[in-house]
């Protein structure tokens, strides 16, 4: 009997080839997984009438763990993003993005090792918005103008920024738990509490309270603009960052940029009842079916998944094999070559095979 049951969503665009390669790498670690393969995305929209059939959610609810290749968000069809829908439906409130330098990846920086923990459900991203000129917007403006000393102009659109004690407690706890489980030393809360006293101020206050329960891990905080400057000047001073949704979105990309970009940026979306692992990049439709793109981000996401499953030794072996192949720079995809037109670049599957071979050599 398999030790773990995992939902695998092959996605669309470049998704299926990345999923196939990643699955092969995971299976090659020897960890016994019963794969529940669930299609979703634009390729199944016509047949099933939705890019996210209920069976996909049911499978994740049953298995509690899923790995997902990118899925296209079609423009102008009325379908909302499957990626956002999955996070909402499963209440995956924490987005964890480790940003680590690997030797051989072209980047302005070396030795970066940061983890961004982003709150996924609140803040300006909660989707509570009122369109300029609408009746509801005018009512909101009238209400605010009645109760607030500061006035809103009548020709404004309004987006609401809720940050709760509940939401902050669980994300900051998630950051500290991640730090503990992964041997990290410090958690930094990022905010703009000096200006937004009742939303970011609350975030900071609750973060300070939660930090008192984790005396084994250092805690500090930074104002978000200062944090951006420090990340590009002295990133080595930081370890785990915990942020409300919007700052988390922006700083995730900043940190991905420090380590060489989207091709190597893995991610995990974690909730109380489930975890979904996925690369940060999208479905790059122009490369669909070409066996061309870099599988590293999804394979590194699977490293996070193996750790989540308690398979730390296998996760470390797989990560070391990825690092080895990138460092060697021979069996890597076009985007990892100095010249993107380098004819020695290999395809997605071949890079995956090189990673599998490297694990086999290391085991000898
Ligand atoms: P994208 O990340 O798909 O592609 C942007 C460019 O980055 C590509 O053209 C390619 O040059 C490069 N790239 C991306 N992944 C790569 C890889 N693995 N190897 C090498 N190069 C790679 O971003 P986009 O074009 O803005 O989005 C395309 C679709 O993906 C959209 O429909 C978008 O909504 C969706 N999307 C999905 C997710 C997700 O599934 N979580 C995330 C982001 C975007």
Among candidate residues 36, 68, 100, 125, the one labeled active-site is 125
Residue with CA nearest ligand 1 atom 23: 282
Please report the atom of ligand 1 found closest to the CA of residue 18.
18
Residue with CA nearest ligand 1 atom 27: 282
Per-residue pLDDT at 79 exceeds 90: no
Cβ neighbours of 257 (radius 10 Å): 17
Q: What is the pTM of this model?
A: 0.92
Length of the chain as a residue count:
364
What is the pLDDT confidence band of residue 88, given thresholds at 50, 70 and 90? confident
Say yes or no: domain 1-100+262-364 is CATH 3.40.718.10.
yes
Cα–Cα distance measured from residue 125 to residue 147, given in angstroms and rounded to the nearest whole number: 24
Per-residue pLDDT at 73 exceeds 90: no
| Span from the CA of 15 to the centroid of ligand 1 (angstroms) | 10
Cα–Cα distance measured from residue 181 to residue 216, given in angstroms and rounded to the nearest whole number: 12
Listed in order, strand segments (DSSP E) in 175-288 are 186-191, 218-223, 240-243, 266-270, 275-279
What is the pLDDT confidence band of residue 126, given thresholds at 50, 70 and 90? confident
Please report the atom of ligand 1 found closest to the CA of residue 296.
18
Listed in order, strand segments (DSSP E) in 26-170 are 33-37, 65-68, 94-100, 113-119, 129-130, 158-159
| Span from the CA of 279 to the centroid of ligand 1 (angstroms) | 10
Mean pLDDT, rounded, for 1-23: 94
68 as an active site residue: the answer is no
pLDDT computed for residue 43 by the predictor: 87
Cα–Cα distance measured from residue 216 to residue 225, given in angstroms and rounded to the nearest whole number: 28
Cα–Cα distance measured from residue 29 to residue 25, given in angstroms and rounded to the nearest whole number: 7
Please report the atom of ligand 1 found closest to the CA of residue 297.
18
The dihedral of CA 325, 326, 327, 330: what is its sign? positive
pLDDT computed for residue 334 by the predictor: 95
Structure tokens at 75: 């423009």
Q: Which of 72-81, 108-117, 255-264, 314-323 has the lowest mean pLDDT?
A: 72-81
Mean pLDDT, rounded, for 46-67: 94
> Strand, coil or helix: what is 254?
helix
Cβ neighbours of 209 (radius 10 Å): 13
Q: What is the CATH number of domain 163-258?
A: 3.40.50.2300
Per-residue pLDDT at 80 exceeds 90: no
Per-residue pLDDT at 1 exceeds 60: no
> Strand, coil or helix: what is 115?
strand
Please report the atom of ligand 1 found closest to the CA of residue 278.
41
Residue with CA nearest ligand 1 atom 40: 70
142 as an active site residue: the answer is no
Among candidate residues 249, 288, 337, 357, the one labeled active-site is 249
Among candidate residues 197, 225, 286, 360, the one labeled active-site is 225
| Span from the CA of 45 to the centroid of ligand 1 (angstroms) | 19
pLDDT computed for residue 53 by the predictor: 94
Q: Is 273 exposed, middle or buried (0-12, 13-18, 19+ CB in 10 A)?
A: exposed
Cα–Cα distance measured from residue 8 to residue 213, given in angstroms and rounded to the nearest whole number: 36
pLDDT computed for residue 78 by the predictor: 67
249 as an active site residue: the answer is yes
Residues with CB under 6 A from ligand 1: 70-73, 83, 262-263, 278, 281-284, 286, 293-294, 297, 335
Structure tokens at 80: 């909302």
Mean pLDDT, rounded, for 36-65: 94
Mean pLDDT, rounded, for 147-172: 97
Cα–Cα distance measured from residue 148 to residue 153, given in angstroms and rounded to the nearest whole number: 13
To test ligand 1's pocket by mutation, which of 283, 285, 326 has the most ligand atoms within 8 angstroms of CB?
283
pLDDT computed for residue 84 by the predictor: 85
Label the pairing between strands 186-191 and 240-243.
parallel
Cα–Cα distance measured from residue 7 to residue 184, given in angstroms and rounded to the nearest whole number: 29
Q: Which of 57-71, 82-96, 178-192, 292-306 has the lowest mean pLDDT?
A: 82-96
pLDDT computed for residue 363 by the predictor: 86
Q: Cα 118 to chain center, whole Å?
A: 8
357 as an active site residue: the answer is no
Cα–Cα distance measured from residue 353 to residue 331, given in angstroms and rounded to the nearest whole number: 9
Mean pLDDT, rounded, for 264-269: 95
Report the chain's C-alpha Rg in angstroms.
21
Q: Which of 14, 61, 63 is nearest to 41 (CA)?
A: 14
pLDDT for 129-139, tens place per residue? Answer: 999 999 999 99
Percent of the chain exceeding pLDDT 90 equals: 88
| Span from the CA of 14 to the centroid of ligand 1 (angstroms) | 9
Cα–Cα distance measured from residue 267 to residue 257, given in angstroms and rounded to the nearest whole number: 14
Residue with CA nearest ligand 1 atom 6: 284
The DSSP symbol for 72 reads -
Distances (CA, A) of 30 to 4, 314, 325: 12, 8, 19
Per-residue pLDDT at 174 exceeds 60: yes
Among candidate residues 23, 68, 192, 292, the one labeled active-site is 192
| Span from the CA of 13 to the centroid of ligand 1 (angstroms) | 9
pLDDT computed for residue 262 by the predictor: 85
Element (H, E) at 4: strand 4-9
Q: Is 52 exposed, middle or buried (0-12, 13-18, 19+ CB in 10 A)?
A: buried
> Strand, coil or helix: what is 5?
strand
Per-residue pLDDT at 181 exceeds 70: yes
| Span from the CA of 200 to the centroid of ligand 1 (angstroms) | 31
Domain ranges of the chain: 1-100+262-364, 123-161, 163-258
pLDDT for 196-217, tens place per residue? Answer: 999 999 999 999 999 999 999 9
Adjacent-strand bridge partners of 219: 187
Pairs from 342-345 (Cβ < 8 Å, separation ≥ 24): none
| Span from the CA of 231 to the centroid of ligand 1 (angstroms) | 25
């Amino acid at each position: 009997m398999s030790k773990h049951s995992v939902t695998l969503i092959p996605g669309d665009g470049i998704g299926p080839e990345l999923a196939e390669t990643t699955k092969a790498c995971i299976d090659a670690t020897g960890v016994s997984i019963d794969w529940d393969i669930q299609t979703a995305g634009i390729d199944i929209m016509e047949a099933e009438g939705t890019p996210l059939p209920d069976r996909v959610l049911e499978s994740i609810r049953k298995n509690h763990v899923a790995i997902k290749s990118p899925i296209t968000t079609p423009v102008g069809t009325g379908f909302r993003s499957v990626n956002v829908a999955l996070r909402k439906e499963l209440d995956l409130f924490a987005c964890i993005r480790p940003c680590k330098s690997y030797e051989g990846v072209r980047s302005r920086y070396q030795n970066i090792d940061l983890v961004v923990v982003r709150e996924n459900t609140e803040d300006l991203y909660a989707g509570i918005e009122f369109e300029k000129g609408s009746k509801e917007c005018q009512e909101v403006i009238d209400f605010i103008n009645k109760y607030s000393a500061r006035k809103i102009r009548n020709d404004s659109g309004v987006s609401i920024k809720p940050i709760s004690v509940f939401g902050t407690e669980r994300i900051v706890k998630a950051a500290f738990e991640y730090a503990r489980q992964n041997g990290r030393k410090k958690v930094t809360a990022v905010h703009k509490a000096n200006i937004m006293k009742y939303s970011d101020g609350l975030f900071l206050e609750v973060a300070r309270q939660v930090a008192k329960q984790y005396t084994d891990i250092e805690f500090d905080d930074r104002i978000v603009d200062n944090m951006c400057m420090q990340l590009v000047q002295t990133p080595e001073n930081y370890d785990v960052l915990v942020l409300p949704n919007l700052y988390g979105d922006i700083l995730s990309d900043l940190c991905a940029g420090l380590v060489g970009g989207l091709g190597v940026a893995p991610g995990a979306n974690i909730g109380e009842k489930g975890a979904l692992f996925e690369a940060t990049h999208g479905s790059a439709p122009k490369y669909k079916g070409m066996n061309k793109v870099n599988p590293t981000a999804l394979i590194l996401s699977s490293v996070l998944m193996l750790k989540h499953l308690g398979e730390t030794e296998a996760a470390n072996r797989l990560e070391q094999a990825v690092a080895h192949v990138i460092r060697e720079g021979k069996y890597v995809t076009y985007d990892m070559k100095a010249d993107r037109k380098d004819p020695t670049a290999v395809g997605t599957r071949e890079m995956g095979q090189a990673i599998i071979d490297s694990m086999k050599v290391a085991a000898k």
